[in-house]
């Protein structure tokens, strides 16, 4: 059945609805814009209200900033501890300094321990640098040989000091010397002139002798008549001296000559 055309009133209403549609769209868009603006403003306010909390977070975290200082103090303590010598090592260093005579000045309240004679002997033993004598043989007959005092310190048993007197040499002396006062316990001697056995007995050898040191020590000894052999004279303790002197008191007479000889003298 055919639809009848709209009446005049209906047509007017339809036209009115069509004319109001753009206005409705404009109102909707405006509402949407206002809605977004309101949300944006509310968000900014929330951020401003939330900023104190951020400060609290910073305040809470601030104590952790002190940790590096504590760590630095701990590292300083470790470094200080590392510079301290272990007890054993410090004791060894102190002993070596004492033996070498290089002790530093003691700190206040520190007891001063004097070196014992044995420690001084170990640190500064007698070292022969030269020899001296009251006289020595200078004969044209034996010009090819040298009998000066240096012969007692050359380590050569085929040489020796020979006194230069016209007799057997009682009262003549020979000494080994150091550069300054040093420590000694005794002396080792090779008596006579052991270049050959026959030469040894044809010359005189020391029998009685006086040993003197620069510190005033003196002792009388009797040497054995031993060919090509060392004899030890112990001083019975430690002495500080610049020389060791042997003076002839008596001799074992030679079968041919009146010359008295000593081959070697070594301090110990």
Q: How far apart are CA 183 and CA 268, in angstroms?
A: 9
Same domain, 48 and 140: no
What's residue 156's pLDDT?
97
Q: Which helix (H) or strand (E) holds 13?
A: helix 8-61
- Of 49, 64, 79, the position where a domain reaches its end is 64
Same domain, 134 and 263: yes
Q: How far apart are CA 222 and CA 200, in angstroms?
A: 18
What's residue 199's pLDDT?
97
> How far is the CA of 102 from the CAs of 87, 93, 110, 125, 183, in angstroms?
20, 11, 16, 16, 17
Question: Would you say residue 46 has pLDDT above 80?
Answer: no
In a domain, 91, yes or no: no
Q: How far apart are CA 243 and CA 249, in angstroms?
A: 19
- Of 64, 80, 107, the position where a domain reaches its end is 64
Highest mean pLDDT among 31-35, 142-146, 261-265: 261-265
Question: Would you say residue 65 has pLDDT above 70?
Answer: no
In a domain, 96, yes or no: no
pTM, entire model: 0.60
Q: How far apart are CA 222 and CA 169, in angstroms?
A: 16
Q: How far apart are CA 244 and CA 213, in angstroms?
A: 5
In a domain, 2, yes or no: no
Among 171, 165, 161, CA closest to 248: 171
Same domain, 140 and 43: no
What's residue 241's pLDDT?
98
Task: For 68-80, write each residue's pLDDT tens digit.
Answer: 444 444 455 455 4
Q: How far apart are CA 150 and CA 161, in angstroms?
A: 7
| Residues of the chain above pLDDT 70, percent | 58
pLDDT band at 143 (very low <50, low <70, confident <90, very high): confident
Among 165, 185, 157, CA closest to 248: 165
In a domain, 140, yes or no: yes
| Residues of the chain above pLDDT 90, percent | 55
Task: For 126-141, write each residue's pLDDT tens digit.
Answer: 999 999 999 999 987 7
Domain housing 54: 8-64
In a domain, 196, yes or no: yes
- Of 34, 64, 94, the position where a domain reaches its end is 64
> How far is the CA of 217 from the CAs of 95, 199, 233, in angstroms?
29, 34, 13
Question: Would you say residue 53 has pLDDT above 50?
Answer: no
Lowest mean per-residue pLDDT among 12-21, 217-226, 232-241: 12-21
What's residue 83's pLDDT?
46
Same domain, 167 and 47: no
Same domain, 60 and 142: no
Task: For 151-200, write each residue's pLDDT tens digit.
Answer: 999 999 999 999 999 999 999 999 999 999 999 999 999 999 999 999 99
Same domain, 46 and 152: no
In a domain, 92, yes or no: no
Cβ(175)–Cβ(243) under 8 Å? Answer: yes
Q: How far apart are CA 241 and CA 100, in angstroms?
A: 18
**What's the whole-number mean pLDDT along residues 22-42?**
59
Q: In CATH, what number is assigned to the domain containing residue 207?
A: 2.60.120.260
SS3 state of residue 140: helix
Number of domains forming the structure of the chain: 2
Same domain, 137 and 27: no
Beta bridge partners of 62: none
Question: Would you say residue 228 has pLDDT above 60?
Answer: yes
In a domain, 40, yes or no: yes
Q: What is the mean pLDDT of the chain?
A: 78
Task: For 69-117, write each residue's pLDDT tens digit.
Answer: 444 444 554 554 444 545 555 555 555 555 554 444 555 655 557 999 9
Surface-to-core class of residue 187, CB atoms within 10 Å of its CB (0-12 exposed, 13-18 middle, 19+ buried): buried
Same domain, 140 and 255: yes
In a domain, 186, yes or no: yes
């Amino acid at each position: 059945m055919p639809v009848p055309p709209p009446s005049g009133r209906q047509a007017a209403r339809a036209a009115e609805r069509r004319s109001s549609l753009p206005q409705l769209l404009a109102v909707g868009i405006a509402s949407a814009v206002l809605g977004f603006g309101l949300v944006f403003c509310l968000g900014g306010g929330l951020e401003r209200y939330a900023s104190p909390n951020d400060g609290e977070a910073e305040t809470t975290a601030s104590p952790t900033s002190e940790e590096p200082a504590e760590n630095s103090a701990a590292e300083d303590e470790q470094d200080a501890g590392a510079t301290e010598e272990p007890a054993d090592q410090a004791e060894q260093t102190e002993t070596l300094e004492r033996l070498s005579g290089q002790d530093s000045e003691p700190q206040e309240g520190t007891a001063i321990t004097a070196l014992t004679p044995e420690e001084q002997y170990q640190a500064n033993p007698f070292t022969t640098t030269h020899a001296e004598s009251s006289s020595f043989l200078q004969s044209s007959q034996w010009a090819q040989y040298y009998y000066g005092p240096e012969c007692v310190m050359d380590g050569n048993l085929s040489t020796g000091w020979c006194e230069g007197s016209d007799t057997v040499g009682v009262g003549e002396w020979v000494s080994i010397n150091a550069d300054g006062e040093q420590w000694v316990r005794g002396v080792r001697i090779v008596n006579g002139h052991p270049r050959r056995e026959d030469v040894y007995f044809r010359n005189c050898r020391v029998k009685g002798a006086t040993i003197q040191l620069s510190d005033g020590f003196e002792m009388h000894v009797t040497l054995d008549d031993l060919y090509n052999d060392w004899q030890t004279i112990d001083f019975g303790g430690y002495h500080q001296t610049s020389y060791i002197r042997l003076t002839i008191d008596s001799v074992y007479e030679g079968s041919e000559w009146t010359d008295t000889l000593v081959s070697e003298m070594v301090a110990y």
